[in-house]
A and B are shown apart, each in its own frame.
Chain A
Amino acid sequence: MPDLSRILFQILNGLTFAGLLFVIASGFSLMFGLMRVVNLAHGAFYILGAYIAWTIQAQGGGWVMAVLMASLGVGILALLAFFLIQRVEGDMPQTLLTLGLGIGVADVCLLIWGGLPKTIAAPSQIRVPVTIAGFTYPGYRYFVLIAAIFIGFLLWYVFQRTQLGRIIRAGVDNRAIVATLGINIDRLFIKVFFLGGILTGLAGAIGGSYLAVGPGMDFAMLTFALAVVIIGGMGSITGSAVGALIVGLVDSFGRSYFSELAIFLLSLTIIAVIMVRPQGLFGRVEE
């Protein structure tokens, strides 16, 4: 049944894209939920991660090294962005600052790496096609999906079982009250920005192996991350996971069956969610 395998193929495409989106959006969502700052440089962070990984490989470095350096590099950039944002007051000026930062980083990337799309070579062991029950699908995409699930569990554990997770959850609910309990919430923001940067750099390095990175990719990824957070609700790991699943599947099926309407279908989904739950599926209304 060719049609069934096409559907299965689209489901897997949607799931693997969702995995990538989840890794990108979970950091984005935490920054958003905690600081009320929409980090519009997030897409630029993503492509920078991919470019760093590509450069490490071009210099002869291994794939693992490339992924680690991309994560660390973007983590450090996120820290710098944090200190910059701290110098400005007010949600809107801070958000505009991140937009400027994003455009600046993307332009510097264009200057350094040029306009031609770049692809990161994944290790040959995980690049082979995998056939399960007669259905063949790229092994690397399975790897992305498994890696995303693993990261999801790790984040869930930190969120639900550790003091850092409790502080983050409480901070999303009410920052001021967390501070009155003797917790230095500013220091928490630093950790969350660093973590968000690491996750985004990681996503860039992993995603760059099957979505070629080039100019324009920054805004494309930012748009997807925004869609995930709007649908899932800000500041919630579960929301990021569910939002990423919805966006990944809508995008995958949209591209395959109604390719002209793919973006429209995604927008329609966002509108439908906002009409029913303006705070997103797992978002909370601040008191």
Chain B
Amino acid sequence: MSTKPLLTVEEVHSYYGTSHILHGVSITLQSGVAVILGRNGMGKTTLVKTIMGLVPARSGKILLNGEDVTHFKPYQLALCGVGYVPQGRALFRSLTVEEHFQLATRGGNGRKWEAEQVYELFPRLRERAKQSAMSLSGGEQQMLAIGRALVTNPRLLIMDEPSEGLAPVILDHLIETFQSLAQMGMSIFLVEQNLRTATTLAQKDLYIMVSGTIVAKVEAETLLHDQSAREKYLGVKAAET
């Protein structure tokens, strides 16, 4: 195995139309879990989309295991072992739960993940296998979006705000799932605005993003106990955690 970092983002700039969104973002994920924490509109989704090749990087570099993937198309990135859980789930409304897995299941990595393993992870999806994805509850939809990415058997799972719109109890279950995925050796790159999700998942690789740049790399402990840092970077009061 190489010792190159799994994911490297170097001085990446990107635009949405004419507006400059990412102003030179740099991140290194050796392996394990990295979280980008930031409020709405700070460029988190653009960062994820740029890594996935859905938004072109105007300058800078994105490396995957040392290989330059900056100008890869989304499908090529996926074939390199990157799984993507988009913001708002983006499930296919014409497909049933089962069909999402049939569509997405792909080899690689010894094909550890198939529909069966996802059903074991999220038993509620098995009960809904024949149903349309749109008939699921918010939590089930998020499980399906995660499962859809898992069956592509990625080395790196990129998730864009999986906590969005979920009840706390469901979110707790998801956080536990992410932790067990990480223990199984899956690397996870997560962008979040939910402080609790972010700090539970990443102890060291926790980046703060403000206005299209990474302003700090902090430890979860520090962020949890330093109210002034929280207010400075995230504009959140202690009570909102």
Say yes or no: is B95 at the interface (Cβ < 8 Å to chain A). Answer: yes
Q: Are the C-beta atoms of B152 and A166 separated by less than 8 Å?
A: no
Say yes or no: is A124 at the interface (Cβ < 8 Å to chain B). Answer: no
Closest-CB distance, B89 to chain A (whole angstroms): 9
Q: With the chains together, A284 CA to B90 CA distance in Å?
A: 14
Closest-CB distance, B161 to chain A (whole angstroms): 15
Say yes or no: is B224 at the interface (Cβ < 8 Å to chain A). Answer: no
How many residues of chain A have a CB within 8 Å of chain B? Answer: 20
Q: With the chains together, A176 CA to B78 CA distance in Å?
A: 12
Q: With the chains together, A163 CA to B99 CA distance in Å?
A: 9
Say yes or no: is A223 at the interface (Cβ < 8 Å to chain B). Answer: no
User: Which residues of chain A from 170 to 197 have a CB within 8 Å of any chain B CB?
Assistant: 170, 172-174, 176-185
Q: With the chains together, A256 CA to B84 CA distance in Å?
A: 56
Q: Contacts of B112 on A, CB cut-off 8 Å?
A: none
Q: Contacts of B78 on A, CB cut-off 8 Å?
A: 179-183
Say yes or no: is A169 at the interface (Cβ < 8 Å to chain B). Answer: yes
Partner of A183, one of B75, B77, B95: B75
For residue B100, which residue of chain A has the nearest CB? Answer: A170
Say yes or no: is A287 at the interface (Cβ < 8 Å to chain B). Answer: yes
Once A179-B74, A181-B103, A182-B79 are accepted as A-B contacts, the answer to whether A169 and B94 lie under 8 Å apart by CB is yes
Q: Contacts of A184 on B, CB cut-off 8 Å?
A: 73, 75
Q: Are the C-beta atoms of B99 and A166 separated by less than 8 Å?
A: yes
Say yes or no: is B102 at the interface (Cβ < 8 Å to chain A). Answer: yes
Closest-CB distance, A116 to chain B (whole angstroms): 45
For residue A235, which residue of chain B has the nearest CB? Answer: B94
Q: With the chains together, A287 CA to B95 CA distance in Å?
A: 15
Q: Are the C-beta atoms of B75 and A182 separated by less than 8 Å?
A: yes
Say yes or no: is A167 at the interface (Cβ < 8 Å to chain B). Answer: yes
Q: Are the C-beta atoms of A166 and B74 separated by less than 8 Å?
A: no
User: Which residues of chain B from 89 to 109 have a CB within 8 Å of any chain A CB?
Assistant: 90, 92-95, 99, 102-104, 106
In the complex, the 7 A-B pairs of residues with the closest C-beta atoms, listed nearest first: A182-B78, A179-B74, A169-B94, A170-B92, A180-B84, A173-B92, A166-B103
8 contacts between A and B (CB under 8 A): A169-B95, A173-B94, A177-B84, A180-B84, A181-B104, A184-B73, A185-B75, A287-B88
